[in-house]
């Protein structure tokens, strides 16, 4: 006679399973970031959509839980933080399913979404105790612009002002900034601050930042919150600006300037911004992420030209400072993030022909090159990929002067016209003068494909590889 009845055995197994479920790591805090328009909303929408559609086996061939038929299902559950906006998945899907199909709207701040993913464990301890396991996945979407502020923590107001003025004095910014800079240079720094005057000059500075981002396609925008203020819109903490020629002021007068003087007010707000905005974001959110994907649209700056691309390079460098925590005493004292996997994804890869994808990855790698070496030193697992969250084109061949050339075909954004083109070669290295002088990149924005069915997984490029890198080990 068996010592335990089957019922008893199952009960015990269930208990052991519950215990392990509690002790094993079954939770991932995934952060998605990138500068505005880099493709964060499209990425999260597609990733969630692939999981909710139970993998759609063919579509997720490189995601082991699906490939090995261990993926059961995913569903949305109530998000973790009640005070953070919900990622608006429904709205994004509705836009894509509309006729004609639309891209989801631009978003402005931080948002969250939580999924419960059920799967059959394969290699983990869980397989001995329970049939199914659940991975809870928290996804946070936040603007890369917020990371651009990190270097401010290491700077005094004087240093920051100097750096900003030297940026503003160069092309292409100077053309737009000259009048504003003159206005600041005429302002008496030691006179009592006039609240309205300061608000007004800060407003023009903010408008300049918007022009740099949206009209010139530049990436280095500081302070980042000025263009993406979220709940801080209109607060005095966002009403300051860099001051010119502080080093030419009388040292004593500057140091002794009262808090109510122009310079004193600007300095105090700068410090408050650092403390309450920059540091708080790191403490409240950044510290809690386990895994991070940084999205970058390298193609639009390539299309815009040299200044835009160089600025992206600088911005990526600034963003990467957030991962240099092992190197700098300030950051290691302030934060000890636990990120163990970091992915860089070059988005919108469906805009270029497939043989260009290796170049796109290599370009992306060079943009983060210095950093990559330093981070791998800190034992973070890093990978770069070229992806399309929502593939909007088809590939084909066309003949040009008797030669077959690869082409992409899709509906041009705006006109909706079916367009076939060879957009040009992506440089495998950071472009030099010769590239800018002799190469032409002809990039067209595409509308999403029409007639995507509501309950079918969205077409994509390499989202399965992203899932495998970011979640595969947690679902083994």
- The C-alpha torsion from 138 through 141 and 142 to 143, rounded to 10°, is 160
The mark string for 103-122 relative to ligand GTP (x by CB under 6 A, - otherwise) is xx-xx---------------
- Binding to ligand GTP by residue 347, rule CB under 6 A? yes
- 289 or 446: CB nearest ligand GTP: 446
Burial of 319 (0-12, 13-18, 19+ CB in 10 A): buried
Give the total of residues touching Mg ion (CB under 5 A).
3
Piece of the chain touching ligand GTP by CB under 6 A; list 158-166, 188-196, 309-317, 345-353: 345-353
- Write down the least CB distance from residue 92 to Mg ion, Å: 9
CA neighbor of 348 nearest in space, from 108, 103, 140, 88 = 103
- 34 or 55: CB nearest Mg ion: 34
Q: What is the rounded distance in angstroms from the CA atom of residue 452 to the CA atom of residue 64?
A: 26
C-alpha neighbours within 13 Å on the C-beta side of residue 456: 11
CA neighbor of 285 nearest in space, from 76, 77, 42, 30 = 30
Q: Which one of ligand GTP, Mg ion, none is in contact with 34 (Cβ closer than 5 to 8 A by kind)?
A: ligand GTP
- 449 or 474: CB nearest ligand GTP: 449
Piece of the chain touching ligand GTP by CB under 6 A; list 38-46, 47-55, 271-279, 467-475: 38-46
Q: What is the rounded distance in angstroms from the CA atom of residue 313 to the CA atom of residue 417?
A: 33
Q: Which one of Mg ion, ligand GTP, none is in contact with 390 (Cβ closer than 5 to 8 A by kind)?
A: ligand GTP
- Binding to ligand GTP by residue 140, rule CB under 6 A? no
Q: What residues numbered 145-174 form the site for Mg ion, per CB under 5 A?
A: none
- Write down the least CB distance from residue 138 to Mg ion, Å: 17
Q: What is the rounded distance in angstroms from the CA atom of residue 145 to the CA atom of residue 166?
A: 20
- Write down the least CB distance from residue 333 to ligand GTP, Å: 31
- Binding to Mg ion by residue 107, rule CB under 5 A? yes
Say if residues 24 and 124 touch (Cβ distance below 8 Å): yes
- 70 or 462: CB nearest ligand GTP: 462
The mark string for 411-450 relative to ligand GTP (x by CB under 6 A, - otherwise) is ----------------------------------xx----
Query: What are the distances in angstroms from CA 316 to CA 336, 365, 373, 403?
Result: 21, 11, 14, 38
Q: What residues numbered 30-69 form the site for Mg ion, per CB under 5 A?
A: 40-41
Non-local (6+) Cβ contacts of 418 within 8 A are 409, 410, 411, 412
Q: Which residues pair with 85 in a beta bridge?
A: 111
- Binding to ligand GTP by residue 311, rule CB under 6 A? no
CA neighbor of 306 nearest in space, from 167, 439, 148 = 439
Residues that bind Mg ion (CB under 5 A): 40-41, 107
Residues that bind ligand GTP (CB under 6 A): 34, 36-42, 103-104, 106-107, 143, 347-348, 350-351, 388-390, 392, 445-446
């Amino acid at each position: 006679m068996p010592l335990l009845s089957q019922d008893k055995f199952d009960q015990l197994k269930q208990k052991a399973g519950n215990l392990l479920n509690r002790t094993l790591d079954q939770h991932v805090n995934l952060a998605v970031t990138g500068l505005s328009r880099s493709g964060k909303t499209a990425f999260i929408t597609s990733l969630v959509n692939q999981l909710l559609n139970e993998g759609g086996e063919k579509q997720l061939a490189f995601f082991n839980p699906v490939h090995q038929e261990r993926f059961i299902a995913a569903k949305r559950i109530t998000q973790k933080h009640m005070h953070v906006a919900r990622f608006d998945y429904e709205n994004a899907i509705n836009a894509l399913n509309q006729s004609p199909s639309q891209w989801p709207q631009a978003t402005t701040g931080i948002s969250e979404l939580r999924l419960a993913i059920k799967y059959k464990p394969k290699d983990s301890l869980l397989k001995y105790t329970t049939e199914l396991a659940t991975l809870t996945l928290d996804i946070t979407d936040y603007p890369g612009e917020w990371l651009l502020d990190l270097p401010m923590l290491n700077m005094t107001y004087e240093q920051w002002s100097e750096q900003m003025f030297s940026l503003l004095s160069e092309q292409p910014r100077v053309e737009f900034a000259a009048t504003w800079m003159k206005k600041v240079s005429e302002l008496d720094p030691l006179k009592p601050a006039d609240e309205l005057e300061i608000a007004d000059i800060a407003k023009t500075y903010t408008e300049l930042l918007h022009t740099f981002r949206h009209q010139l396609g530049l990436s280095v925008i500081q302070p980042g919150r000025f263009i993406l203020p979220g709940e801080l819109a209109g607060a005095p903490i966002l009403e300051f600006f860099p001051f010119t020629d502080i080093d030419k002021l009388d040292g004593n007068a500057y140091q002794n300037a009262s808090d109510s003087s122009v310079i004193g007010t600007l300095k105090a707000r700068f410090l408050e911004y650092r403390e309450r905005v920059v540091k708080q974001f790191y403490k409240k959110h950044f510290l809690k992420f386990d895994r991070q994907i940084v999205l970058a649209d390298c193609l639009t700056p390539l299309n815009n030209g040299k200044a835009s691309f160089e600025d992206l390079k600088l911005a990526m460098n600034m963003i990467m400072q957030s991962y240099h925590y092992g190197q700098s005493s300030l950051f290691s004292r302030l934060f000890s993030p636990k990120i163990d996997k970091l992915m860089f994804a070059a988005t919108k890869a469906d805009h270029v022909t497939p043989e260009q994808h290796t170049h796109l990855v290599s370009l992306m790698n060079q943009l983060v090159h210095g950093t990559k070496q330093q981070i791998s030193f800190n034992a973070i697992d890093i990978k770069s990929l070229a992806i399309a969250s929502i593939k909007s084109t088809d590939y084909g061949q066309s003949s040009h002067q008797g030669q077959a050339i690869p082409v992409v075909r899709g509906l041009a954004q705006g006109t909706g016209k079916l367009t076939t083109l060879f957009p040009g070669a992506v440089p495998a290295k950071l472009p030099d003068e010769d590239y800018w002088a002799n190469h032409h990149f002809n990039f067209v924005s595409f509308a999403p494909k029409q007639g995507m069915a509501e309950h079918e997984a969205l077409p994509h490029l390499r989202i399965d590889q992203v899932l495998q890198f970011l979640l595969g080990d947690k679902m083994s």
